[in-house]
């Protein structure tokens, strides 16, 4: 029965989700932002904190609107919400190609954050299609980041070389409007009411049992998941945002730095499906602990690495460990609280991960660079965050035997 959850229809939903994540703002835009730091800084005479403010505005906008987007998904469904946001999102992405003033750049990044769906629709809709293989489905969803990272770096680098940073943003907008949106319209949909796993379609109605949002917010498990994710996402997004200049500071050329940074997504591409497979088979959240320890080891190695191959391996371990650990959120929330109010519960996690981890985190690393005139202090902060995230896993409670 479990194997039959994967069908042409459910597989199409998963494929559309992977591509949409890959080409969306939390995919290609954040994955490749470090490529834009140098050319934007040169054009506008910005320091690292000022250019990082673009990511801060984007993340804060996502954070502020995530609970509302979760409510929309619960009220109107993932498909309608996703199609509307994706269509609207392509416009400010295309608009980045035409900016001629700093305020326009800030305003468009803010608008992109307001419209970005984040991971909310995918978590909800896959929970309706999969039950026994939900961990694997969520792990495969992570390929949107794992495959999208190196692919985005390649597309972004080639576009920057050919047309400058404005032309690169134009390419991103065209991909969102011309590829992601049609694929979502074709394949991304909720299961028909009453469809069942036996028919190779969707999970039965019992999947919608679980906690209300207030019940989840009163639970220690919710805050443990949140704290772990804030720390893990802070490091991962920090490496994504500042990775290229960090590696250039270690003596690598920009080309070598881009190659080394691609190891982050190679690690994620391997770890997230593996993590999903393990989550379906090992009934404890501590299954993420080996991944967390690998991330700590990778970040420690990053501090002392000084060769292209050594830094590639360090970044790979960060991606392998951090990708596996940060990819557990949707599954853990489903196991602890069910799908009854999943959109609202997951939507209440995202304000913290985007506001604290991505927005303030990106700015903090830029600020530390400017004050220390190097990334050394920032890298120690990243190591400390990964270490705390690993320790927090020991406090996680067993999954409930039965959802309320």
Average pLDDT over residues 12-29: 86
3-state helix, strand, coil in the chain (%, to 5): 80, 0, 15
pLDDT, residue 204, reads 45
Identify the band that residue 201 occupies on the pLDDT scale cut at 50, 70 and 90.
very low
pLDDT, residue 195, reads 54
3-state secondary structure of 187: helix
Of 226, 229, 237, 242, nearest in space to 327 by CA: 229
pLDDT, residue 196, reads 44
The tens digit of pLDDT for each residue in 265-314 reads 888 888 888 888 888 788 788 888 999 999 999 999 998 877 888 889 99
pLDDT, residue 200, reads 44
Greatest mean pLDDT among 48-52, 133-137, 350-354, 384-388 lies in 384-388
Counts of helices then strands in the chain (DSSP H, E): 20, 0
Supply the pTM of this predicted model: 0.71
pLDDT surpassing 50 at residue 85: yes
The tens digit of pLDDT for each residue in 138-173 reads 778 877 776 777 788 788 888 888 898 889 889 998
Please provide the distance, in angstroms rounded to a whole number, between the alpha carbons at the two ends of the chain: 25
Greatest mean pLDDT among 99-108, 179-188, 212-221 lies in 179-188
pLDDT, residue 296, reads 94
The tens digit of pLDDT for each residue in 35-60 reads 888 888 888 887 777 787 888 888 88
Q: What's the chain's length in residues?
A: 404
Average pLDDT over residues 206-223: 79
The tens digit of pLDDT for each residue in 172-186 reads 989 999 999 999 999
Q: How far apart are CA 329 and CA 99, in angstroms?
A: 36
pLDDT surpassing 50 at residue 221: yes
pLDDT surpassing 60 at residue 118: yes
pLDDT surpassing 80 at residue 327: no
CATH number attached to the domain at 3-192+203-395: 1.20.1250.20
The tens digit of pLDDT for each residue in 296-305 reads 999 999 988 7
3-state secondary structure of 210: strand
Average pLDDT over residues 19-44: 83
Are 338 and 210 in contact by the 8 Å Cβ rule? The answer is: yes
Q: How far apart are CA 163 and CA 2, in angstroms?
A: 48
pLDDT surpassing 50 at residue 206: no
């Amino acid at each position: 029965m479990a194997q039959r959850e994967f069908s042409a229809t459910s597989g199409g939903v998963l494929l559309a989700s992977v591509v949409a994540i890959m080409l969306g703002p939390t995919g290609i835009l954040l994955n490749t932002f470090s490529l834009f730091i140098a050319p934007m800084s040169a054009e506008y005479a910005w320091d690292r904190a000022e250019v990082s403010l673009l990511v801060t505005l984007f993340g804060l906008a996502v954070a502020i609107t995530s609970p509302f987007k979760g409510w929309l998904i619960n009220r109107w469904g993932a498909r309608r919400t996703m199609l509307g946001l994706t269509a609207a999102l392509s416009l400010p992405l295309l608009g980045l190609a035409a900016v001629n003033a700093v305020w326009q750049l800030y305003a468009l990044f803010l608008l992109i954050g307001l419209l970005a769906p984040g991971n909310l629709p995918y978590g909800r809709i896959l929970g309706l299609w999969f039950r026994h293989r939900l961990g694997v489905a969520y792990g495969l969803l992570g390929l949107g980041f794992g495959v999208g990272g190196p692919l985005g770096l390649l597309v972004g680098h080639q576009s920057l070389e050919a047309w400058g940073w404005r032309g690169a943003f134009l390419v991103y907008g065209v991909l969102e409007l011309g590829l992601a949106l049609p694929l979502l319209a074709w394949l991304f949909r909720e299961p028909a009411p009453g469809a069942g796993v036996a028919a190779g379609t969707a999970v039965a109605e019992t999947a919608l049992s679980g906690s209300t949002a207030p019940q989840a917010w009163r639970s220690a498990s919710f805050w443990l998941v949140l704290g772990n994710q804030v720390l893990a996402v802070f490091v991962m997004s920090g490496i994504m945002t500042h990775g290229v200049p960090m590696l250039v500071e270690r003596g690598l050329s920009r080309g070598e730095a881009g190659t080394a940074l691609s190891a982050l997504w190679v690690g994620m591409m391997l770890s997230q499906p593996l993590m999903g497979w393990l989550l379906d088979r090992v009934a404890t959240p501590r299954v993420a602990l080996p991944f967390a320890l690998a991330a700590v080891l990778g970040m420690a190695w990053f501090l002392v690495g000084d060769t292209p191959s050594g830094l590639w391996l360090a970044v790979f371990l960060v991606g392998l460990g951090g990708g596996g650990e940060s990819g557990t959120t949707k599954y853990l929330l489903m196991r602890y609280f069910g799908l009854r109010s999943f959109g609202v519960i997951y939507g209440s996690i995202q304000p913290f991960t985007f506001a604290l981890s991505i927005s303030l985190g990106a700015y903090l690393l830029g600020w530390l660079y400017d004050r220390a005139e190097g990334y050394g202090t920032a890298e120690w902060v990243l190591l400390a965050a990964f270490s705390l995230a690993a320790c927090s896993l020991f406090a996680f409670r067993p999954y409930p035997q039965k959802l309320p």
